[in-house]
C-alpha cells in the first residue's frame, strides 16, 4: 500500500500546548496548536515529539483528532517511561517541538458499508480519528467502534442510546464523543467495568459478526490499532470471516522518518518477504501481509 503524499510532507513545528488533562492509569489528553501538522494529517498518521528539552530522543504519538480550520491536533498518551513522564509535567502555554504528520494512513475512501474499528489501549486514538473521517466524508457509511482497555477508560463511559443488533444484553457502555457523533461504540475489559463486555475486543467483535447474515457480513471491513498480540488476533479473526483488514502497528522508533531502519518489521509483498519501516512504509499495513497464517 502506497500513499501518494508519503514523502516531502513533514513539518518541523513549534506547537503551543493548549490543553493538558490527566486521567486514571497515567493517561493524558493533550491538545496542541499545530496548524502545519493539522493541515496535512490523515487517520493513521502520527507525530514525533520532543517530550522535554533535556531529552533529545523524540517519542511517536498517534493523532486522535485534528481541526484543520482551527489548527489544532489532539493526542491521547500513557506515561510509562522517562520521556512520557516528563511530557506529563508540561504545562498549558508551553511550546513543544514536533515533526509531523508522519506515515501512511488508513484507506481514505471507498469504504464498505459497515466498517468495524477496533482499538486497544493507546491504539484507541487512531480509531477515533478514522471514525470521524468516515462519518464526515461518507454519510451513508455506518462504522461501529469497539475499544478495549485494562485501565480505566480516559473518559466517563455513557450508556449508549444507539442500539445494535447482535450484542450481548447489558453491554451498553460507550464513548460519549462517538455517541455525540452518532457512531455506535462499545467498550471491553477484563476489569469488570460497568456496562463493558467482559472479555477481549475480538470476543465481542466475533459475537457481533456471528449474528450478521451473509449479505451484511460481505459489507464489513476491519481497521485496528493496538498491541501486537491484539492485532494478530484481529488479523486471524478477519481471516476467519473472510474480511479485509488494515492494522496500524505500534513500534519503538528512533528517527521516525525512515533513516535509521530501527522500526522494521517483516512484511509479505508480491515480490516476497521484505523488511518494511513502520514509520514511513506504515504504520498502516494490510493485516494479512504482517500476520500471515502459518
pLDDT for the residue numbered 18: 98
Residue matched to cell numbers 493517561: 27
Q: Return the pLDDT at 232.
A: 96
Torsion of CA 140, 146, 147, 150, to 10 degrees: 170
One fold for 11-102 and 114-251: no
Domain ranges across the chain: 11-102, 114-251
| Tens of pLDDT, residues 202-232 | 999 999 999 999 999 999 999 999 999 999 9
The residue ranges of the chain whose pLDDT is under 70 are 1-9, 294
Beta-strand runs (E) in the chain: 11-23, 27-33, 46-49, 59-62, 65-67, 72-78, 95-102, 114-120, 144-148, 158-159, 173-174, 185-189, 197-198, 220-225, 245-248, 264-269, 272-277, 284-286
- Which uninterrupted H or E stretch holds 270? none
11-102: CATH class: mainly beta
Straight-line distance from the first to the last Cα atom of the chain, in angstroms, rounded to the nearest whole number: 22
Look at residue 8 in the predicted model and tell me its pLDDT.
58
pTM here? 0.94
- Calpha distance 280→7 (Å, rounded): 8
Q: Could you give the count of Cα atoms lying within 13 Å of 38 in the half-sphere of its Cβ? A: 19
What pLDDT does residue 10 have?
A: 80
CB-based contact 84:122 (threshold 8 Å): no
Looking at residue 259, its pLDDT comes to: 87
For 47, residues 6+ apart whose C-beta sits below 8 A from its C-beta are 34, 37, 60, 61, 63, 73, 75, 98, 99, 100, 101, 102
Q: Write down the architecture of domain 114-251 according to CATH.
A: 3-Layer(aba) Sandwich (3.40)
How does pLDDT run across 172-187, given as a tens digit for each residue?
999 999 999 999 999 9
Amino acid at each position: 500500500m502506497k500513499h501518494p503524499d508519503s514523502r516531502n510532507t513533514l513539518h518541523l513545528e513549534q506547537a503551543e500546548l493548549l490543553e493538558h488533562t490527566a486521567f486514571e492509569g497515567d493517561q493524558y489528553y493533550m491538545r496542541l496548536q499545530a496548524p502545519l501538522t493539522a493541515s496535512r494529517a490523515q487517520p493513521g498518521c502520527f507525530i514525533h515529539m520532543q517530550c522535554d528539552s533535556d531529552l533529545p530522543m523524540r517519542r511517536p504519538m498517534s493523532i486522535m483528532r485534528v481541526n484543520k480550520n482551527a489548527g489544532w491536533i489532539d493526542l491521547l498518551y500513557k506515561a510509562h517511561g522517562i520521556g512520557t513522564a516528563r511530557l506529563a509535567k508540561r504545562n498549558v502555554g508551553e511550546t513543544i517541538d514536533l515533526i509531523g504528520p508522519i506515515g501512511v494512513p488508513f484507506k481514505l475512501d471507498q469504504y464498505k458499508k459497515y466498517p468495524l474499528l477496533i482499538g486497544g489501549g493507546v491504539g484507541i486514538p487512531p480509531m477515533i480519528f478514522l471514525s470521524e473521517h468516515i462519518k464526515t466524508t461518507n454519510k451513508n457509511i455506518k462504522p461501529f467502534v469497539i475499544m478495549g482497555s485494562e485501565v480505566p477508560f480516559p473518559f466517563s463511559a455513557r450508556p449508549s442510546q444507539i442500539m445494535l443488533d447482535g450484542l450481548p444484553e447489558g453491554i451498553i457502555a460507550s464513548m460519549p464523543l462517538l455517541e455525540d457523533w452518532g457512531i455506535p461504540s462499545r467498550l471491553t475489559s477484563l476489569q469488570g467495568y460497568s456496562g463493558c463486555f467482559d472479555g477481549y475486543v475480538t470476543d465481542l467483535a466475533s459475537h457481533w459478526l456471528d449474528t450478521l447474515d451473509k449479505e451484511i457480513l460481505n459489507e464489513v471491513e476491519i481497521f485496528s490499532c493496538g498491541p501486537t498480540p491484539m492485532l494478530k488476533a484481529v488479523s486471524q479473526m478477519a481471516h476467519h470471516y473472510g474480511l479485509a483488514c488494515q492494522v496500524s502497528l505500534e513500534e519503538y522508533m528512533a528517527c521516525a522518518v525512515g533513516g535509521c531502519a530501527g522500526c522494521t518489521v517483516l512484511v509479505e509483498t508480491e515480490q516476497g518477504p521484505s523488511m518494511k519501516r513502520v514509520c514511513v512504509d506504515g504504520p498502516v499495513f494490510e493485516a494479512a501481509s504482517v500476520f500471515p497464517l502459518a
